[in-house]
């Protein structure tokens, strides 16, 4: 997606403990969309444990919100941020079922890439996607991620070690920051 297509339908907001009830409710409503691809917290206790990952500064979580309604349409994480010579992170994302398929995640990832490459000054993002997750693969391709290969038994998801395709994008190419995008 070209950065000249400024996404105006969504905004990113940092994920906080106050999002617990809304987040868990949306994850429960999205079980059919998320399984077997990922597991997100569905209870307050799971959510509080999951949120600890954002305490150390190496992981950042966002809700993607519809600007018109304020409703959460999905979530995005920048995980395992590594500085120094790497300047990279792993990208995780999920749509919420009530608004899936409406382009909100494309807009949300556009803002996330802008924040990662300009605000956080990262150089490389990787997305690890199970081969059968066609929607997620299509989104990564739309965003300009490039296929790098298959990692066998890469992540433990839903009770089993799962193969994942590795997709990446680097700055500044093909990403060209657009100063008209809002800050996160």
pLDDT at position 35 over 90: no
| HEC sequence for the chain | CCCCCCCCCEEEEECCHHHHHHHHHHHHHCHHHHCCCCCCCCCHHHHHHHHHHHCCCCCEEEEEEECCCCCEEEEEEEEEEECCCCCEEEEEEEECHHHCCCCHHHHHHHHHHHHHHHHCCCCEEEEEECCCCHHHHHHHHHCCCEEEEEEEEEEEECCEEEEEEEEEEECCCCCCCCCCCCCC
Give residue-wise pLDDT tens across range 133-180. Answer: 999 999 999 999 999 999 999 999 989 999 999 999 999 654 455 555
**Structure token digits, residue 147:** 């296929």
Give residue-wise pLDDT tens across range 46-100. Answer: 999 999 999 998 999 999 999 999 999 999 999 999 999 999 999 999 999 999 9
* Domains of the chain and CATH, by start: 10-170 (3.40.630.30)
């Amino acid at each position: 997606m070209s950065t000249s297509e400024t996404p105006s339908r969504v905004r990113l907001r940092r994920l906080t403990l106050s999002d617990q009830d809304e987040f868990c409710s949306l994850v429960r409503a999205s079980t059919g969309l998320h399984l077997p691809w990922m597991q997100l917290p569905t209870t307050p206790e799971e959510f509080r444990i999951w949120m600890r990952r954002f305490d150390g500064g190496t992981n950042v979580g966002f809700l993607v919100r519809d600007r018109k309604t304020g409703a959460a349409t999905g979530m995005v994480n920048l995980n395992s941020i590594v500085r120094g010579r790497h300047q990279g992170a792993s990208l995780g994302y999920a749509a919420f079922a009530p608004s899936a398929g409406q382009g909100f995640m494309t807009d949300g990832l556009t803002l996330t890439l802008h924040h990662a490459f300009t605000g956080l000054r990262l150089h490389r993002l990787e997305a690890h996607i199970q081969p059968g997750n066609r929607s997620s693969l299509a989104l990564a391709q739309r965003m300009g991620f490039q296929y790098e290969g298959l990692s066998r038994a890469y992540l433990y998801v839903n009770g089993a070690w799962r193969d994942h395709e590795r997709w990446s994008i680097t700055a500044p190419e093909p990403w060209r920051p657009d100063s008209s995008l809002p800050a996160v």
